[in-house]
């Protein structure tokens, strides 16, 4: 019985030594820059922080795959004082079988923000070496793009209608003004013609000679 208990307690460390190694095909390397990110508020990396890391990775794997991962499925090895290490993830159904590196990367990328927030770090200060940046959800604008396009088109149509109406009014005013000017010119021409006609009929010499003729 005692032998079984010792074997159970030692099994995780034995598995870690066998499965988790630097540059393992299904392993990922992690580097943390806690001092750089937090300066005077930097915390010390210890076994509790390590446990938190394992818990966040177990959470990400459980959420991504739909399987139930535990802290014991996250094996950490080759830790350095400057806070870097390697880790692998074992299958919940078989602790001796590793989850593929591709699946672990996708889980990390999808829940990168949750992992970063747990340690008050960012993609730059909590680096999963070789893993692309966070798979952030696309930002959706407050106003749908189609509504923006529709608004622009309606604005252009409205501006066109206003321009046509204003142009029509201005042209009508110009036509009326031109017509009045033409009428004034015609009236002035008729007046001058009449005046000129009267001057031509009136003969002043005949009027002066008329009294003499009567005498």
Q: How many CB atoms lie within 10 A of CB 29?
A: 17
Show the CA angle centred on residue 103, arms to residues 98 and 105, nearest 5°: 110
Q: Residue range 62-80: average pLDDT? A: 96
Contact 126, 119 (CB under 8 A): yes
More confident residue, 77 or 153: 77
Q: How confident is the model at residue 84 (pLDDT cuts 50, 70, 90)?
A: very high
| Residue 46 three-state SS | coil
More confident residue, 186 or 161: 161
Segment 98-113, tens digit of pLDDT: 999 999 999 999 999 9
> Sheet of 28-32: strands edge to edge?
74-80, 84-89, 28-32, 126-128
Q: Is the pLDDT of residue 148 over 90?
A: no
The DSSP symbol for 98 reads: B
Least confident of 44-48, 54-58, 67-71, 195-199: 195-199
The encoded tokens of residue 141 equal: 């604008």
pTM: 0.58
Calpha distance 37→59 (Å, rounded): 24
């Amino acid at each position: 019985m005692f032998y079984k208990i010792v074997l159970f307690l030692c099994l995780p460390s034995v598995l870690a030594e066998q499965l988790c190694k630097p540059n393992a095909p299904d392993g990922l390397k992690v580097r943390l820059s806690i001092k750089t990110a937090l300066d005077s508020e930097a915390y010390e990396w210890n076994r509790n922080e390590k446990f938190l890391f394992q818990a966040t990775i177990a959470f990400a794997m459980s959420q991504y795959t739909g399987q139930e991962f535990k802290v014991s499925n996250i094996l950490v090895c080759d830790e350095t004082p400057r806070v870097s290490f390697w880790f692998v993830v074992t299958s919940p159904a078989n602790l001796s079988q590793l989850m593929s590196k591709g699946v672990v990367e996708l889980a990390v990328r999808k829940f990168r923000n949750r992992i970063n927030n747990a340690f008050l770090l960012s993609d730059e200060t909590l680096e999963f070496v070789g893993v692309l940046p966070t798979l952030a959800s696309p930002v959706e604008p407050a106003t749908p793009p189609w509504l923006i396009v529709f608004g622009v088109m309606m604005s252009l149509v409205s501006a066109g209608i206003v321009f046509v109406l204003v142009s029509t009014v201005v042209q009508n005013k110009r036509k009326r003004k031109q017509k009045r000017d033409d009428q004034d010119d015609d009236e002035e021409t008729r007046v001058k013609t009449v005046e000129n006609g009267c001057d031509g009929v009136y003969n002043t010499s005949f009027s002066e000679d008329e009294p003499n003729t009567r005498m």
